[in-house]
Amino acid sequence: MLPPHHLSSVHINYNFLMAAFRSTSVLYMLSLVLASQALALAGDFNKDFAIKWGDGRAKILNSGQLLTLSLDKASGSGFQSKNDYLFGKINMQIKLVPGNSAGTVTAYYLSSQGSTHDEIDFEFLGNLSGDPYILHTNMFSQGKGNREEQFYLWFDPTADFHTYSILWNPQRIIFSVDGTPIREFKNAESIGVPYPKNQAMRIYSSLWNADDWATRGGLVKTDWTKAPFTASYRNFSANACIWSSGVSSCGSSTPSSNSSNNGWLTEDLDATLQARLQWVQKNYRIYNYCTDAKRFPQGFPPECAMSS
């Protein structure tokens, strides 16, 4: 993942946002109910994931039902899935670093390997106590990213666990929070835009120090007196095609949606979900590369004509 040096984090008082949050409490509670209904049986972190770095700072607890990452001045930590996936519907409940999390980044993403890799990103940019997290999203296809959108959330993501989901099928990628879609990236191969469909990806997550850019463009540094910083994970589920030795568990490189378990392969946003997506983008999206004219003086990327 490349840090978005060209993006500056917007500073806003958290109390200001809370007034707006209260006015949307009904929708929020509905999204929580839908998210809880959508979760499959929780996975076992011991079975599904491997801790990759952090020298003991990452821990799997409660018989595989809880995973924690921690960050101190010496190091962060991270884990990755044992399986590779080629299309899927991925859910993870995360409770972010509380308090003064300025300078920290909690990343949760799908990625393949190499210079022409594909990648689908959630990154949570920490902030000073009382100021909101920024949810940074990005999408890479064949090594090309620079498709950033940033959001505030309509709740405090450090007070409890919330479900962050990626739907990735041959037609679209949908980022969702507690069952509410926040971003959709449609397959635009018909107009020459590469789409991630040929490279299997693993799930990764890490907690690391990025105080050179993460909070207000690097103006606010990590306060190491607050370390260790900790993020927690639970209730992972993946309704997905596992890719192993060139073979998909869904039966072919272009799996069928005929199975009752594979409806996500053709899933899209109905009218209700479209309305919720538009609500988020109107009220909580704070950066959209498709409206950044200064960044694209020669014209916006072609997929922007298809974006919400």
Which residues form the catalytic set? Answer: 119, 123
Q: Which residues contact 188 (CB under 8 A, 6 or more apart)?
A: 195, 302, 303, 306
Could you give the angle at the alpha carbon of 200 between the alpha carbons of 194 and 203, nearest 5°? 110
Q: Is the dihedral of CA 264, 268, 269, 271 positive or negative?
A: negative
Q: Which amino acid is at 127?
A: N
Q: Which residues contact 260 (CB under 8 A, 6 or more apart)?
A: none
Q: How many CB atoms lie within 10 A of CB 51?
A: 18
Query: In the chain, what is the straight-line distance between the N-terminal and C-terminal CA atoms, in Å?
Result: 24
Which position has the token pair 């930590």?
77
Instruction: Give the C-alpha separation, 233 to 252, whole Å.
Output: 32
DSSP E strand boundaries for the chain: 49-53, 59-61, 66-71, 77-81, 84-95, 104-111, 119-125, 134-140, 149-151, 162-168, 172-177, 180-186, 202-209, 229-244, 247-248, 285-288
Which residue in 160, 110, 165 sits closest to 140, CA to CA? 110
Q: How remote is the C-alpha of 90 from its chain's centroid?
A: 10
Instruction: Give the C-alpha separation, 193 to 187, whole Å.
Output: 8
Could you give the angle at the alpha carbon of 242 between the alpha carbons of 50 and 89, nearest 5°? 90
